[in-house]
Amino acid sequence: MAGISIQARRERAMRDIENGLKILTVGLRRLAHDVTTLSSGALARPARQRPVTRALRLQGRYMGLIRTLPQRKKRQVMALRASKGVERAIQMARSMKH
């Protein structure tokens, strides 16, 4: 590179920087467009919510009650649930809690 003058190297470096900035600008514009398109599309459609069924509500009550019980009482409630159903188990867990 001894044959290239300092002025020529500076000009080439400036051209390289300008080209790099142009490429970067185009990439950022594309990225900004993609981000705004995704976010506006996500906001336009609300997320579908799963309906809360009776069974799901009972399961939530059961889990909320049983998790605070000691291990021995928890086993009793779980055994009752297996034999008599979740509603009876909820009643038993509520009575054990007080």
Output the tens digit of pLDDT for each of the chain's 98 residues.
567 899 999 999 999 999 999 999 999 999 988 887 776 655 566 678 889 999 999 999 999 999 999 999 999 999 999 999 999 999 999 999 87
CB-based burial label for 92 (10 Å; 0-12, 13-18, 19+): buried
Residues 59 and 38 both lie in one domain: no
Residues 24 and 38 both lie in one domain: yes
Q: How far apart are CA 89 and CA 80, in angstroms?
A: 6
Residues 7 and 31 both lie in one domain: yes
Q: How far apart are CA 80 and CA 83, in angstroms?
A: 5
Residues 44 and 21 both lie in one domain: yes
Supply the pTM of this predicted model.
0.51
Residues 18 and 41 both lie in one domain: yes
Residues 40 and 71 both lie in one domain: no
- Which domain covers residue 75, as residue numbers? 54-97
Query: Number of structural domains, the chain?
Result: 2
Amino acid letter, 7: Q
